Amino acid sequence: MTTATATDQTLAPRPAGGPLQAAHDSLVVAKRNLIRMLRIPEVVIFGLIQPIMFVVLFSYVFGGAIPVPGQHGSDPSVYRNYLMAGIFAQTVTFATAGAGAGIADDMHKGLIDRFRSLPMARGAVLTGRTIADLVQTALTVVVLSIVAVIVGWRVHNGVFDTLAAFGLLLLLGYAFSWIGALIGLSVRTPEAATSGGLIWLFPLTFISNAFVPTSNMPSFLRTIADWNPFSATVQACRQLFGNPTGIVSHAWPMQHPAWASLIWSVVIVLVFRTWSVHKYRTAAA
């Protein structure tokens, strides 16, 4: 019994140590996922259609019906500029469902078991997947920005502020992709991962300042919205883009939205990456 156990441990592949090796393994997995995305272009195309539909529908259906506090008149272009930060944030967070479904699909097909048999860093499989999802999200944001400009969205601050806003958006999307990774590891099928990845995103995005000002919400909902990490990112982007912000709450995240967004995203990455990698290792045991 002891001899057999020792033999198994000797034959089992051991990952090479060090952060550089872990980074290399993560990039290899990311490349694999990006190649797969290119071979299935409909996944990317469908991922682009939904945010474009939101831009068009909200801009032209609700644009003249929702006034922005602090802005005079009911010019639809004012609401379009107010709206776009929310659409951007919604787009990067909704990628969470795709991340979870992808990992659940790999688990379902046994691909994760093949990775486990290789001498690679344990967290590389999940890190590589989230990096690939981040690249896809960045592509979606670029296309969405072009559509936004077509419907009348404009940036009024400098290039540095604009890039900082997009950086906060992508960081939030990357943070949420780790929540998707945890969901994908926790369910049995890709369908369950898709449902589980979306069901909590709707209240997160709609109980926020993304689409309407929070000033008319009940007090308890406004408090939730003000401390929502999603709201902090939206508010930070509006300020950095130079777009209308509406009535700003006295809550700390709304007074310092860029810092709040950064802190929220880093905390989410640290917590859910640790949790996801632990779950991956536990499942591998």
DSSP string computed for 214-263: GGGS-HHHHHHHHT-HHHHHHHHHHHHHT----SPPSSHHHHSHHHHHHH
What is the rounded distance in angstroms from the CA atom of residue 39 to the CA atom of residue 86? 31
E strands, 159-264, are: none
pLDDT digits (tens, 9 = 90+) for 156-200: 998 999 999 999 999 999 999 999 989 988 887 888 887 887 888
- CB 176 within 8 Å of CB 92: yes
Assigned token pair, 224: 């939730």
Residues 6+ positions from 232 with CB-CB distance below 8 Å: 253, 254, 257, 260, 261, 264
**pLDDT at residue 12 in the model:** 43
Fill in the DSSP letter of residue 200: T
What is the rounded distance in angstroms from the CA atom of residue 11 to the CA atom of residue 7? 6
Q: How far is CA 158 from the centre of its chain?
A: 25
- CB 177 within 8 Å of CB 265: no
What is the rounded distance in angstroms from the CA atom of residue 131 to the CA atom of residue 170? 11
- CB 195 within 8 Å of CB 104: no
* Mean per-residue pLDDT of the chain: 83
Highest mean pLDDT among 74-83, 101-110, 198-207, 254-263: 254-263
Assigned token pair, 175: 């943070």
Determine how many CB atoms are found less than 10 A away from the CB of residue 164.
Answer: 18
For residue 216, pLDDT beyond 70: yes
pLDDT digits (tens, 9 = 90+) for 56-102: 887 777 766 677 766 655 566 788 888 899 999 999 998 888 778 88
**Could you tell me the sign of the dihedral formed by the alpha carbons of 4, 7, 9, 11, in that order?**
negative
